[in-house]
Amino acid sequence: MVELKVNGAVRQVDAAPETPLLYVLREDLQLNGAKFGCGLGQCGACTVAIDGAPAFSCLLPVGLLAGREITTVEGLGSPDKPGPLQQAFIDEQAAQCGYCIAGMVMRAHTLLARNPSPTDDEILEHMSPNLCRCGAHMRIVAAIRRASSRKEASRSQRGAL
């Protein structure tokens, strides 16, 4: 049995300690936001926040996560009540196929929590480990800008970076 703190709740999971967090989230906890992409920490589709920092959940055995605060995209809101960052992604229509988006949202979340008004350079720098192969980057950046507290963010138009 492994005890995990996920989205504010303590969860008991019957999993071997070497099981990657991603598998436990998806298969044991039915938190299917985080996706399996490459399994090698190269694409970012599995990104979650651990104690407020972005982490690739495909590369993290649950046995190493005792006492750590895990946040997944489900922890930011729901389809009925999306959180502000999720709403910004909807408003900017910042997804094409959508496979990378849960990871993108979580990586962006860790940036805005630490720096509520990042510059475009800071957004690009922070988001660079996460890949999107549809080419939705411009809208993703626009969504992050919209969710930030930057003054000009409210004027942001779709795709106008």
Contacts of residue 93, defined as CB under 8 A and 6 or more positions apart, other chains included, come to 139, 158
Distance from C-alpha of 154 to C-alpha of 2, rounded to nearest angstrom = 44
CA distance 133 to 75: 25
The nearest distance, CB 17 to another protein, in angstroms, is: 7
In terms of CB distance, is 52 or 84 closer to another protein?
52
What is the pairing mode between strands 47-50 and 69-71? antiparallel
Output the smallest distance, CB 64 to another protein, in A.
6
**Is residue 54 a contact residue for another protein (CB under 8 A)?**
yes
Residue of 11, 23, 36, 39 that binds another protein (CB under 8 A):
39
Burial of 46 (0-12, 13-18, 19+ CB in 10 A): buried
- Tell me the residue type at 56: F
Among 8, 14, 18, 152, binds another protein (CB under 8 A): 18
The most distant pair of C-alpha atoms in the chain lies apart, rounded to whole Å, by 50
Q: How far is the CB of 78 from another protein (least distance, A)?
A: 25
In the complex, the smallest distance separating the C-beta of residue 101 from another protein, rounded to whole angstroms, is 19
Task: Say how many residues touch another protein, by CB under 8 A.
Answer: 31
Residues 99-158 that bind another protein (CB under 8 A): 110, 120-121, 124-125, 128-129, 138, 141
**Could you tell me if 43 and 72 are in contact, meaning their C-beta atoms sit under 8 angstroms apart?**
no
Q: Cα(20)–Cα(29) distance, rounded to whole angstroms? A: 13
Where do contacts with another protein occur on this chain (CB under 8 A)?
A: 17-18, 20, 39-42, 50-56, 59-61, 63-64, 110, 120-121, 124-125, 128-129, 138, 141, 159-161
